[in-house]
Amino acid sequence: MRKIKFLVHEADDCVGVAVKDIKAGEHVLGIILDPDREITVHSNHNIPLGHKIALRAVKAGEFVIKYGENIGKATQDINVGDYVHTHNLKTVRWSYGY
């Protein structure tokens, strides 16, 4: 049985959430919850439990989608498998004063 390392809530999400620590260079299995299907991604970085892994490329200035919602803008280009966090994402909360 393969171990699931990340979850994706919506099919259009840009990122998945690590449910176990992910190591750089690892090919990791995730589950897209809606619809219920598997996805694999090659990780470019170490990604701690609870943090985000990029599922598709996002250009600087584009929105990042998680849970089917805009969570902020990429501050630099993000590649598939990248660690997505405060170093490359300005969250909606900080961008728009929420």
Domain CATH number, residue 71: 2.30.130.110
* Comparison of pLDDT for 95 and 61, the residue scoring more: 61
Q: What average pLDDT does the segment 59-80 reach?
A: 96
- Structural domains in the chain (count): 1
Say yes or no to pLDDT of 1 above 90: no
Residue 98 has pLDDT above 60, yes or no: no
26-41 burial: b if 16+ Cβ within 10 Å, else e:
bebebbbeeeeeeeeb
Q: Are 33 and 9 in contact (CB under 8 A)?
A: yes
Report which of residues 95 and 30 the model is more confident about.
Answer: 30
Using DSSP's 3-state secondary structure scheme, residue 88 falls into coil
| Predicted local distance difference test score (pLDDT) of residue 2 | 73
Its pTM stands at 0.91
pLDDT digit string, tens, across residues 10-49: 999 999 999 999 999 999 999 999 888 999 999 999 999 9
By CB atoms closer than 10 A (0-12, 13-18, 19+), residue 59 is exposed
Show the domain range for 14.
Answer: 4-95
